[in-house]
Structure 1
């Protein structure tokens, strides 16, 4: 009988811990990191003492929330590897990382900005996340779906940029459309970077778009190829040449 009671107590403790983590993640995402632990306890439907038994400080709770986020992504990545083609699995995973990380931004910022915490739980989750990301990337590269030469750190940095781009758009669907467009740059068929020249911080693609603004140009069946998308860019380029 005692074993049954103890088992029930442990099950209750696990449920309470999961409730606190879920409530804390939502509260931090919605209201920032200044949310009192008492508010998180009420949101989770438990007492403040229950929160402190599982997480003795807000720092410990923040670490656990971020580690849980990574663990959820790890599980998703492993499912994708088992169920989807390599390229589909990689891009689906990366889009999920961007979408969920944008909502968890405040937590990510604090955890990554403070190197003084002893964070064994978070460190273990980060290592496993990198292993899954690396496996997905290499599988997609072997399948020919991702540019060769890219490493996991490149992809992680790329995801950070996409997350910032998504956060900058109020229209979430428009932001996701931009993110998908950016992700296409990881595919082998996208070769804008190799063909590009740079001047004064403006990206111009020779032979693929307007030399001034980079807008796509319709090909001409005869004659010289177009260099500019219209009169405005042609005049701007002329003024730039005169200034030089």
Structure 2
């Protein structure tokens, strides 16, 4: 092994890192319409250098997303050893949402195109889920997170929060909404006790409401207080009985 070959490999690594950084920023700013030639120009390398590392834009997109996931994995691992379980879990989720917000379209493209070869991406996704699961279970063991949550639930919440944060022009307001949603993952009697929503009553085919006076079937209403009587006559009759009693 010569010093020259070692220097060439170091240069190649630096070029690759520079191209990934530039591509990530350009894709975030201009979505996916950026040509590889523009990425080469911004990174200060030749077009041939880009094509040697990334023969197609799809390969570059996958590499950018893999780098994003690996950065999230590293963040999660640092939090596991540096913070209490509950703080580590919620801090990691907020970090995932904020860092993924600008890359939402990229995530959708990579996830939707099943024709790509994804060995590196698959491995990164698995590592991400392992870290997420470890953080979730540690927080659940100390009672900081609802016990009925699964890693799939948390991923779905994170995706929804990312979308919500992305669509808000006021970043601070969006972040507050995300925090409100994430607070719903904490154990709380107000959160975990199952209450009946008015829409649930309408959508439940087997549920029947009857007039408290005459027993006639009542129509279910999607909003407002549930009806107790079929009309004013039954309501007045029931009132007179209560007064008499």
* TM class, shorter-length: 0.7 to 0.9
Which residue of structure 2 lines up, in the alignment, with residue 224 of structure 1? none
Q: TM-score, normalised by structure 1?
A: 0.81
Cα separation, 1, equivalents of 2:133 and 2:147: 13
C-alpha distance after superposition, 1:29-83 (max 9, x if no partner): 1101111001111111111111101001000000000000000000000000011
Q: Where does structure 2 lack aligned partners over 5 or more consecutive residues?
A: 202-222, 232-245
> How many residues are matched?
209
Which residue of structure 2 lines up, in the alignment, with residue 156 of structure 1? 155
Which residue of structure 2 lines up, in the alignment, with residue 4 of structure 1? 3
Give the CA deviation at 1:118: 1.1
Matches within 5 A, 1:138-177: 138-177=137-176
Matches within 5 A, 1:224-239: 237=224
Deviating beyond 6 angstroms after TM superposition, the runs of 4 or more aligned structure 1 residues are: none
Contact 1:146 / 1:187 at 8 angstroms: preserved in 2?
yes
Which residue of structure 2 lines up, in the alignment, with residue 134 of structure 1? 133
Q: Where does structure 1 lack aligned partners over 5 or more consecutive residues?
A: 203-235
C-alpha distance after superposition, 1:194-221 (max 9, x if no partner): 242212379xxxxxxxxxxxxxxxxxxx
Contact 1:78 / 1:132 at 8 angstroms: preserved in 2?
yes
- Matched position secondary structure for 2:196: strand
Give the CA deviation at 1:23: 0.5
Name the CA shift for 1:198/1:3 in 2 (closer, same or farther; >3 Å): same
C-alpha distance after superposition, 1:101-154 (max 9, x if no partner): 111112101001111111101000000000000000000111110000211111
Contact 1:184 / 1:190 at 8 angstroms: preserved in 2?
no
Q: TM-score, normalised by structure 2?
A: 0.81
Cα separation, 1, equivalents of 2:185 and 2:57: 38
Which structure is larger by alpha-carbon Rg, 1 or 2? 2
Alignment of 1:184 onto 2:179: no
Aligned CA RMSD, in angstroms, stands at 2.0
Name the CA shift for 1:243/1:23 in 2 (closer, same or farther; >3 Å): farther
Cα separation, 1, equivalents of 2:177 and 2:200: 21
